[in-house]
Amino acid sequence: MTDRLPSEDDPDFLPAHVQRQHFSPIWLIPIVAALIAAYLGWHDYTQHGPLVTVTFKTAESLVAGQTQVKYKDVTLGTVEDIHLNDDLSGVIVSVRMAGSAKSLLTEDARFWVVRPRLNTFNASDIETLVSGSYIQLEPGAPDAEPQQHFTGLENPPVDRFDGSGRIFVLKAERLGAISIGSPVYFRDINVGEALGYDPGNGFDPIKITILVREPYDKFVREHSLFWNASGVTIGLGPEGLRLETHSLRSVLAGGIGFITPSEAINDPPADAGASFTLYDNKKAADEACYRQRIPYAAYFQTSVKDLARGSPVLIYGLQVGEVTDVKLLLDAQTKEPKVRVTFDIQPEWAFGPQSPSADPGQILRQLVNKGMRVKLESSNLLTGQKVLALEFAPNATPAAVTMEGDVTLLPSTGSSDNVMDALGDVANKLNQIPFKDIGDHLDHLIKTTDQTIGGRDMQQAVQSLAVAMKNAADLSRKAEENMTPALQKLPDISTQIQGAVTHANSLLNSLDAGYGQGSDFQRGARRVLDEVNDAARSIRLLADFLERHPEALISGKSYEKGGKP
């Protein structure tokens, strides 16, 4: 057995641990990377959709590589390129769509740009202030022909529908503050939005398309009432200043409100696309609930200023109708102008939907026979607004109810309690007062009085009066000094005499017992006492008179008219 050296070709030449490792783990890294790259490539290839072009008039707020195409907030594509078209009439936007959107790109698919609309304040629009504008896709019918070139819309389509409600059409004479995205309210709940409007030929009513979302669309019935809830309604009524608004959003962006009368609770929901009238305000919508209207007219030969179409008609202060027209006419017989006021009476307004079975026209004829007349009244002192009042005039002249064509003519009265006219009459009377002449005369009187009082004659008279008063004061003082002791003694003298008379009467009574009442002595004594009593009475009267009139000591007793003292 011969020994040989191992060679490189001999498998035994490598170490034992090297001979056991035929595959190195390091090769797993590039293999996994290759598999991931292959998967990403395959995924990108399978998700890579078609490249479509959309033509818009402007590329406002669109950015290549950033602006996305969405449907129901799901991203379906990204704008890759934006360039002008050949005739420079617009821009061509190239959009790389996702593979899942391929079936949506049919010939009736529509695209439009969603930009922030500060006049609508939609949640999706406010989001674009941060995320940027995006292109909204409305898919076409699946069975339509595929298409890759589209013309974009400048505004959202009014008939867009995503199956979450129903679309209705409102007809209005004026749009007001309503715009695309304006909210629709039901009992102050936001239940939809305005999708768009069509002015038509400019003469017919404007058509406003609205969407009412589920489940509120079932509340729209055949007799539902819609009104313009835009802005703020301010009114001055018996309860004071009244301010009404649905929400801050309706103030800024406009809004539409609707209600369904309780009488229509059993009506089926309105069909999609049904048409309704949009009233100017809720008051007009409420009045539309009353379907029975009876036309009447009345003539006036007084001022009807501030009486206009829509002014209320009142009975005992309650509204039962409204004025429909006010016209100035010339009487063909008398050649005098007169005003013809036509108005509608709505019995349901006074008696409710279940109005009495009696003929309202017959009822009014009976009321006219009892003295009811049509009269103008002022409803507001500040604004001077007038209303028609059906009131009973005292001692009214008998009048008949006549017909003018299809309109019933009611008698009117010329009396009016117009407060503004009364104030005007007062103002006219005040204007007739010569305030200027009165002021001039008063000014002249003041100047004359000042000159008279400050004149020489007046000063001399005042000085003479002062001298006379001084002399009178001296005379009164001297008389008081000289006569005061005598005057003070007069009451004492009177008292003493009265005491003497009393004693004399006592003595006389005692003598009656001795001499008898019919003796000569008794009669003489009685005469003496009477004279003494008269003297005492005279002294008392003199004392009282001098106490009241001390000046009589100087001027003497004044004589009465006719020369009697």
Same domain, 226 and 306: no
Same domain, 206 and 281: yes
The per-residue pLDDT for 408 is: 84
Residue 166 neighbours by CB under 8 Å, 6+ apart: 211, 212, 217, 220, 270, 272
Same domain, 420 and 301: yes
The answer to whether residue 12 sits within a structural domain is no
Contact 79, 63 (CB under 8 A): yes
Which of 91, 119, 151 is the last residue in one of the domains?
151
Q: Can you tell me the distance from the alpha carbon of 211 to that of 170, in angstroms, rounded to the nearest whole number?
A: 11
Same domain, 283 and 299: no
Q: Can you tell me the distance from the alpha carbon of 135 to that of 147, in angstroms, rounded to the nearest whole number?
A: 17
pLDDT digits (tens, 9 = 90+) for 502-549: 655 665 565 455 545 555 555 655 665 666 666 667 666 766 776 676
**Positions in the chain whose pLDDT score sits under 50:** 1, 120-124, 237-239, 354, 511, 515, 559-565
The answer to whether residue 364 sits within a structural domain is yes
For the question of whether the overall pTM of this predicted structure is more than 0.95, the answer is no
**Which two tokens mark 521?**
């002595």
Same domain, 535 and 477: yes
Same domain, 308 and 404: yes
Q: Is 456 exposed, middle or buried (0-12, 13-18, 19+ CB in 10 A)?
A: exposed
The per-residue pLDDT for 334 is: 77
Same domain, 280 and 317: no
Buried b (16+ CB within 10 A) or exposed e, 504-522: beeebeeeeeeeeeeeeee
pLDDT digits (tens, 9 = 90+) for 350-402: 555 545 555 666 777 788 888 888 888 877 655 667 888 888 887 778 888 88
Query: Which range of residues forms the domain containing residue 534?
Result: 456-555
The answer to whether residue 264 sits within a structural domain is yes
The answer to whether residue 27 sits within a structural domain is no
Contact 136, 156 (CB under 8 A): yes
The answer to whether residue 160 sits within a structural domain is no
Contact 151, 224 (CB under 8 A): no
The per-residue pLDDT for 446 is: 73
Same domain, 498 and 384: no
The answer to whether residue 29 sits within a structural domain is no
The answer to whether residue 177 sits within a structural domain is yes
The answer to whether residue 395 sits within a structural domain is yes
The per-residue pLDDT for 202 is: 80
Same domain, 184 and 250: yes
The per-residue pLDDT for 1 is: 47
Q: Can you tell me the distance from the alpha carbon of 139 to that of 129, in angstroms, rounded to the nearest whole number?
A: 25
Same domain, 323 and 396: yes
Same domain, 178 and 282: yes
